[in-house]
Amino acid sequence: MGRTDETTKLMAEKMCFVMRVGCVTRSTAEVAAATERTKTLGADVERYMTQWRQAKALYEEEVMKHAENIKKMQVRRFISETRPPPQENPTSRG
Please report whether residue 58 resides in a domain: yes
Please report whether residue 93 resides in a domain: no
Task: For residue 51, give its domain range.
Answer: 3-80
Between the CA of residue 60 and those of 40, 47, 85, 88, 92, what are the distances in Å? Answer: 30, 20, 39, 48, 53
Please report whether residue 59 resides in a domain: yes
Please report whether residue 7 resides in a domain: yes
Residue 13: what pLDDT?
A: 78
pLDDT in tens, 15-70: 777 666 666 666 788 888 889 999 999 999 999 999 999 999 999 999 999 999 99
Please report whether residue 87 resides in a domain: no
- Give how many domains the chain has, as a whole number: 1
pLDDT in tens, 80-91: 888 777 777 766
